[in-house]
């Protein structure tokens, strides 16, 4: 709760600084604020506090995920200056919007009431709509924003209607109450509740960008400013999946029969479509969009295999996904700055001049592909095992085949970097702490890969 407040305040301060045309203090303020928020968030660990009669629940689950989200945002902000190097103006609006989006995502992970879920989602989405279009004079950016907006608002329409139906059926929007209601009449579910649940599920599926509601993702990811894409692909996705997980686990765990098959089909479709479509991408940015879709599919497995362990697994997975993706995007930003293209060729011979970036990128790719001993493998491994533990072997087999396919396109940048000759001559220069971050991320991916147990058993 304090985290949310802090961040909101920081956002307002940022806006204020922008208003008085001060560029210098902006980022420091953000850094400090986020770090503060991170710490405040951790306060109250193991004592699940409820705010505003169960509107907002700060239990370990939400705290852990919020930690991840805040940390990710911090990383994004660290990469910001390099990305916005050419821009003169303070960019307070963009920073503030990112912060507000973060607030939305924090609410999503911790909602105790469908109302808060909706509010959180909308806070996140609305901010993202604007951010997606924040390159005002870039038609791609505009188009991305428009597409995102249209599909997004459409989807939230369904979500909302679903919530309404749930409310109608159960008579409450409180997760706990709904759970009670569901337990009471497991025997004969009113059709209204089923429909409501499905609509909500669909809405969430859209937000995490899983098939068959993934179509917006590639276009939006490609069109939006890369930094924003990074934010969307990490914070947006993780928050959505966490919210989805929370919803399902806290209210509808007992009625798997209604939604399990549907979600399984979603997951299978997502994994296959995501990986196969990424297979042929030459545009790396877009490739990451598809890889993001694929990973959404994997995360859905965690939702499907609902048991206590799964929360931890999901946490680990989202961490691995976030770190790897953010590292990859960071390098991508660099390369883009240098070569002006997102094509895979841009990576040719990167290892020659920028060994450190290349190394980080390699680690990220391998981690995403799930090659041991990196965190990506640990995450997948735990995910699959917990899924199998509850008899989802076919699903897991599909997932394995998916990641088999994924190896191919994840390895392509690596090959380009190491085995192809560089096109440019000079090394791409990047600020020193940028380098530090990238290296840190790479190290993290290895370390977490070595001690995944910590996080799996965290919540």
- For residues 156 and 125, the answer to whether their CB atoms sit within 8 Å is yes
CA dihedral 428, 433, 434, 436 (to 10 degrees): 100
For residue 439, give the nearest of 361, 387, 380, 379 by alpha carbon: 361
Of residues 134 through 163, those in contact with other proteins by CB under 8 A are 136-137, 139-140, 142-147, 149-151, 153-155, 157-158, 160-161, 163
15 sits near other proteins (criterion: CB under 8 A): no
Q: For the window 106-125, what string marks contact with other proteins as x by the rule CB under 8 A? A: ---------x--xx--x---
Start-to-end Cα distance in the chain:
19
| Residues, the chain | 459
Residue 239 and residue 236: Cα distance in Å, rounded? Answer: 5
Report the Cα 235 to chain-centroid distance in Å. Answer: 4
Report the Cα 418 to chain-centroid distance in Å. Answer: 29
Residue 140 and residue 136: Cα distance in Å, rounded? Answer: 10
Of residues 358 through 397, those in contact with other proteins by CB under 8 A are 366, 371-373, 377, 381-382, 384-385, 388-389, 391, 393, 396-397
- Is the Cβ of residue 30 or residue 144 nearer to other proteins in the bound state? 144
432 sits near other proteins (criterion: CB under 8 A): no
- Is the Cβ of residue 74 or residue 324 nearer to other proteins in the bound state? 324
415 sits near other proteins (criterion: CB under 8 A): yes
- Is the Cβ of residue 8 or residue 194 nearer to other proteins in the bound state? 194
Per rule CB under 8 A, count of chain residues that contact other proteins: 95
- For residues 196 and 166, the answer to whether their CB atoms sit within 8 Å is yes
Rounded to the nearest whole angstrom, what is the least distance from the CB of residue 74 to other proteins in the complex? Answer: 26
Of residues 270 through 299, those in contact with other proteins by CB under 8 A are 273, 276-281
Residue 307 and residue 294: Cα distance in Å, rounded? Answer: 22
Binding part of the chain for other proteins, among 66-74, 225-233, 403-411, 436-444 by CB under 8 A, reads 403-411
308 sits near other proteins (criterion: CB under 8 A): no
Binding part of the chain for other proteins, among 24-32, 187-195, 228-236, 439-447 by CB under 8 A, reads 187-195
For residue 231, give the nearest of 340, 80, 117 by alpha carbon: 80
- Is the Cβ of residue 5 or residue 393 nearer to other proteins in the bound state? 393
- For residues 277 and 417, the answer to whether their CB atoms sit within 8 Å is no
Q: Of 19, 183, 253, 401, which one interacts with other proteins (CB under 8 A)?
A: 401
Rounded to the nearest whole angstrom, what is the least distance from the CB of residue 130 to other proteins in the complex? Answer: 6
- Is the Cβ of residue 252 or residue 384 nearer to other proteins in the bound state? 384
452 sits near other proteins (criterion: CB under 8 A): yes
Rounded to the nearest whole angstrom, what is the least distance from the CB of residue 168 to other proteins in the complex? Answer: 4
Q: CA-based Rg of the chain, rounded to a whole angstrom?
A: 21
| Three-state secondary structure readout of 268-329 | HHHHHHHHHHHCCCCEHHHHHHHHHHHHHHHHHHHHHCCCHHHHHHHHHHHHHHHHHHHHHH
Q: For the window 189-228, what string marks contact with other proteins as x by the rule CB under 8 A? A: --xx-xx--xx--x---x-----xx-xx-xx--xx-----
- Is the Cβ of residue 222 or residue 338 nearer to other proteins in the bound state? 222
Q: Of 164, 427, 440, 458, which one interacts with other proteins (CB under 8 A)?
A: 164
- For residues 111 and 55, the answer to whether their CB atoms sit within 8 Å is yes
């Amino acid at each position: 709760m304090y985290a949310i407040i802090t961040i909101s305040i920081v956002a307002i301060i940022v806006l204020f600084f922008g208003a008085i045309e001060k560029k210098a203090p902006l980022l420091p303020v953000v850094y400090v604020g986020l770090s503060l928020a991170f710490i405040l968030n951790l306060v109250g660990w193991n004592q699940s506090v409820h705010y505003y009669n169960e509107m907002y629940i700060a239990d370990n689950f939400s705290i852990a995920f919020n930690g991840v989200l805040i940390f990710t945002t911090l990383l994004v902000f660290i990469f910001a200056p390099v990305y916005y190097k050419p821009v003169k103006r303070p960019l307070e609006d963009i920073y503030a919007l990112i912060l507000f989006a973060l607030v939305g995502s924090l609410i999503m992970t911790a909602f105790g009431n469908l109302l808060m879920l909706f509010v959180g989602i909308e806070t996140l989405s609305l901010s993202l709509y604007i951010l997606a279009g924040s390159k005002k004079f870039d038609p791609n950016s505009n188009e991305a924003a428009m597409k995102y907006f249209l599909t997004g608002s459409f989807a939230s329409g369904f979500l909302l209607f679903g919530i309404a139906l749930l409310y109608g059926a159960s008579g409450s929007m409180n997760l706990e109450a709904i759970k009670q209601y569901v337990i009471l009449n497991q025997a004969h579910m009113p059709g209204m509740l089923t429909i409501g649940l499905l609509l909500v599920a669909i809405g969430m599926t859209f937000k995490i960008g899983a098939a068959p509601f993934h179509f917006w993702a590639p276009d939006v990811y490609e069109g939006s400013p890369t930094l924003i894409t990074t934010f969307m692909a990490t914070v947006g996705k993780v928050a959505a999946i966490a919210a989805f997980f929370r919803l399902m686990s806290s209210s509808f765990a007992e009625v798997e029969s209604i939604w399990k098959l549907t979600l399984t089909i979603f997951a299978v479709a997502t994994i296959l479509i995501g990986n196969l479509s990424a297979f042929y991408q030459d545009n790396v940015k877009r490739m990451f969009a598809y890889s993001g879709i694929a990973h959404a599919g994997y995360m859905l497995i965690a939702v499907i295999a609902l048991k206590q362990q799964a929360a931890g697994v999901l946490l680990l997975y989202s961490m691995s996904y976030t770190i790897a993706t953010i590292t990859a995007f960071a390098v991508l930003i660099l390369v883009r700055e240098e070569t002006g293209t997102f094509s895979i060729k841009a990576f040719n011979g990167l290892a020659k001049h920028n060994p450190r970036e290349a190394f980080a990128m390699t680690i990220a790719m391998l981690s995403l592909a799930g090659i041991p001993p990196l965190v990506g493998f640990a995450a997948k491994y735990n995910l699959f095992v917990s899924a199998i533990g509850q008899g989802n072997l076919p699903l897991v087999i599909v997932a394995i085949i998916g990641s088999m396919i994924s190896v191919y396109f994840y390895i392509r940048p690596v090959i380009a970097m190491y085995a192809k000759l560089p096109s440019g001559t000079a090394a791409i220069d990047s600020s020193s702490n940028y380098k530090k971050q990238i290296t840190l991320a790479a190290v993290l991916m290895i370390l977490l890969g070595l001690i995944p147990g910590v996080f799996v058993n965290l919540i």
